[in-house]
Amino acid sequence: MKLSDKIISMEHSPVEKYYIYANRVKSRGKKVYHLNIGQPDIKTPPEYMRAVRAYDDEVLRYTASEGVTATIDAVRHYYSRHNMDYSRSEIIITNGGSEALTFAFACILDPGDEVIIPEPFYANYSIFTGLFGGKIVPVTTCPENGYHYADRDILEKAITPRTKAICLCNPGNPTGTALSRDEMRMICDLAVKHDFFIVADEVYREFCYDADEVLSFGQFREAADRIILIDSVSKRFSACGARIGSIATKNKDMYFNLMKLAQARLCCSTLDQLGATTLYELPDNFFDETKEEYRHRRDVAYDAISSIKGVVCTKPRGAFYMTCRLPVENAEDFLIWMLTEFEDNGETAMFAPIEGFYATPGLGKSEIRIAYVLNEKDLLRGIELIKLGLEAYKK
């Protein structure tokens, strides 16, 4: 029996597919430092667990398709602290940021419609757009200029009559690139001028280390009906397993049709919504210590990786990733070799090759993404192993 062409043409995750090698060598006793995935090691705030344990209803019922009212209000109040004004009828709670993105593209794309995305980009954007027949129009960036893409002329050249949206992860995964307020305003101007949506994936919003204020596309009222705001508790609150996100829009037609999708999947987890509510209610200063910890890890990781001969890397401004070019022809081959053949005192490191984060064939073969989510000691050891691995690999 034949499966669909759509699913057959879909690629596996460019991060997950290497675990078969890592798990094999770990079962033989080799230690692997995981620099490949953005799983924070910061403790999830205890308020989350307390809220889940306190649930005492006799029946675990469905909730409203748009989400628990208390959770929606908690998101609203969080936004209001950052100069954003959303009503209850403009926010839908989703099963993580991934479902929010899927909902967004389902609502705006017909087969053949185009989405402008700076590359390299979060690899699942290919899946989310491809499910609905969309085509990614990549705006190519490079490590020499810090993967910068916010140039009006370059972006405007990518716009065609089929452009339905620009999708931006800001601050960015995998590059750590972060937009300034003026750059965000310029993108809003383009959206208004050329009549397209901005899918603003802001799950790393607070992880911006060189800005004194928290920036969001939701603050630009002149383009309010074009902004589709994607959010999640995963990274901000170190609660990846909670799978609670949200999608916010002031476009009434968009909200009306998003609700069709929310109703079709019935609802999000009741308990996880209750836990997430407490996270959004944490005081403003909650994130200060976490942000400083990741800023320190960024600086440590950047200093270490950029000191390796032949590596091209620019210090990222946000998120907790950095992308760089290694002095190898093929980073995937190097990673597999690192996992299967290399070790130093029984240890090796795992990173994410970036070729699968590009839409343009042939690009990114020598580039990798490092997630600086480990403690300083493990982070430095992981990068040291990459350095030792490169020295051995060249021989």
End-of-domain residue from the set 216, 246, 280: 280
Domain shared by 260 and 118, yes or no:
yes
Give the CA distances from residue 309 to residues 256, 297, 316, 395, in Å, rounded to whole numbers and listed in that order: 54, 21, 19, 15
Compute the distance between CA of residue 364 and CA of residue 278 in angstroms, rounded to an integer: 40
Domain that holds residue 194: 46-280
Domain shared by 155 and 238, yes or no:
yes
Compute the distance between CA of residue 76 and CA of residue 366 in angstroms, rounded to an integer: 42
Q: How many domains does the chain have?
A: 2
Compute the distance between CA of residue 311 and CA of residue 302 in angstroms, rounded to an integer: 11
H or E segment to which residue 87 belongs: none
- Radius of gyration of the chain from its Cα atoms, rounded to whole angstroms: 21
CB 231 within 8 A of CB 249: no
Residues 6+ apart with CB under 8 A from 172: 118, 121, 147, 178, 204, 318, 319, 321
- Owner of token pair 């090759």: 353
Give the CA distances from residue 292 to residues 188, 209, 351, 375, in Å, rounded to whole numbers and listed in that order: 30, 8, 23, 13
Instruction: Name the burial class of residue 7, with classes exposed (0-12), middle (13-18) and buried (19+) by CB atoms within 10 angstroms of its CB.
Output: exposed
Output the pTM of the full model.
0.95
Q: What is the CATH number of the domain that holds 14?
A: 3.90.1150.10
SS3 212: coil
Name which of 373, 7, 378 is nearest 207 in CA terms: 373
Compute the distance between CA of residue 108 and CA of residue 186 in angstroms, rounded to an integer: 22
Domain shared by 259 and 293, yes or no:
no
pLDDT tens-digit profile, the chain (395 residues): 989 888 888 887 777 788 888 889 899 999 999 999 888 888 999 999 999 999 999 999 999 999 999 999 999 999 999 999 999 999 999 999 999 999 999 999 999 999 999 999 999 999 999 999 999 999 999 999 999 999 999 999 999 999 999 999 999 999 999 999 999 999 999 999 999 999 999 999 999 998 778 999 999 999 999 999 999 999 999 999 999 999 999 999 999 999 999 999 999 999 999 999 999 999 878 888 899 999 999 999 999 999 999 999 999 999 999 999 999 999 999 999 999 999 999 999 999 999 999 999 999 999 999 999 999 999 999 999 999 999 999 88
In single-letter form, the type of residue at position 44 comes to T
Domain shared by 263 and 295, yes or no:
no
